[in-house]
Amino acid sequence: DDSIGATMATLSFDELASDYDAIVKPKEAFEQKYKKKLPVVFGPITDKNVEQVKTLNRSIFPVKYNDKFYTDVQKSAEHTQLAYYSTDILVGAICCRVEEGGKRLYIMTIGVLAPYRSCGIGTELLEQGLKQVEADSHIEEVYLHVQTSNVEAINFYKRFGFTIKDTIKNYYKRIDPPDCHVLVKPFPREAK
């Protein structure tokens, strides 16, 4: 029915992602099952679409990111990817920041709007990000923070070779539990 697709395309980001709590606070681990793999195209973050990314992140995550977050993302634009469905509907993003003189990449956020989850988009975003790291001979490690209770996310990253390196108590200020794991994936480079 064509009217269903047309209706979904006109919903706001807030309407599409109203159930983000299910991902932020999963009840238990479960095996990932795709609804249907959706075709997406990737694009960079720019001055023209940064407001869309802000709206996307407000819809997905339980925290509001400040302007410095978006400044950092734009400075590391080559490592930030936006996922578009039907070439113009922003449905997900991976936002990264290059640190330590270009030797580390911090995945600040990776998220997909609720109706588009379990369609392979998060996997494609992370794969795109890791391909960029492979091509960048300076980056030696990728890392990120995951809430300790988010077993689904931890298992997702482990599938890509990330391991838990550390646990930080009271990392998060406004979500429970407040603790996070630091997950890392090394990219050993040959000495020059």
Residues 61-114: tens digit of each pLDDT: 888 899 999 999 999 999 999 999 987 899 999 999 999 888 999 999 999 999
Return the pLDDT at 174.
83
| Catalytic residue (one of 106, 116, 157, 181) | 106
Q: With 70 as the cut, is the pLDDT of residue 15 above it?
A: no
CA dihedral over 165, 159, 114, 149, signed as positive or negative: negative
| Catalytic residue (one of 138, 145, 171, 172) | 145
Residue 116 DSSP one-character state: G
- Known active-site residue 145: yes
Q: With 60 as the cut, is the pLDDT of residue 3 above it?
A: no
Q: With 0.95 as the threshold, say if the pTM is over it.
A: no
Indicate the average pLDDT of the chain: 83
- Known active-site residue 143: no
Return the pLDDT at 11.
37
Q: Which of 86, 104, 82, 76 is nearest to 94 (CA)?
A: 82
Q: How far apart are CA 74 and CA 102, in angstroms?
A: 15
Return the pLDDT at 191.
62
Confidence of residue 189 (pLDDT cuts 50, 70, 90): confident
